[in-house]
Amino acid sequence: MGAEPTDAQIRMSPDDPVIQVMSARHGARETAPYRLTVRAASHGLRIVAVWQALGRETRHADHVRVRIDRRHGFEEVTLTYVAVSADVLAETVNRLIALPWVLDACFYP
């Protein structure tokens, strides 16, 4: 009998070898900005709380996009950064997914 799927987030330790390889491979780049996306259920996205969780790194965001997907029942905010390291964004994602109303948080080049 298999385990039932859940909406729980998977936390990865910064010491995990896979995380270290990904961080080294995708360190801060000048030519390809990073995007960080935070997703919540409809009517559950708390922009101020997201901004507070981002901390000092918000000053490096050069574009913010808020999207509402009524069809799938979620809201999301995506920030584009020009000069933030993958390590800093990984820590930020860990802070965000710890919030009970966040469905998902990720960053990508």
Predicted confidence (pLDDT) per residue in 20-65, tens digit: 666 565 554 443 589 999 999 998 988 888 888 888 878 888 899 9
The CA-atom distances, in angstroms, between 51 and each of 26, 68, 88 are 23, 18, 15
Measured CA to CA, the distance from residue 54 to residue 69 in angstroms comes to 23
Residue type, position 59, single letter: R
The answer to whether 105 and 50 have CB atoms below 8 angstroms apart is no
Predicted pLDDT of residue 24: 62
Domains, the chain, ordered by start: 26-108 (3.30.70.260)
Percent of the chain with pLDDT over 90: 37
The answer to whether 58 and 51 have CB atoms below 8 angstroms apart is yes
| 4 pLDDT tier (thresholds 50, 70, 90) | low
Dump pLDDT digits (tens) for 55-102: 887 888 889 999 999 999 999 999 998 888 888 888 899 999 999 999
* 32 phi/psi in degrees, rounded to 5: -125, 105
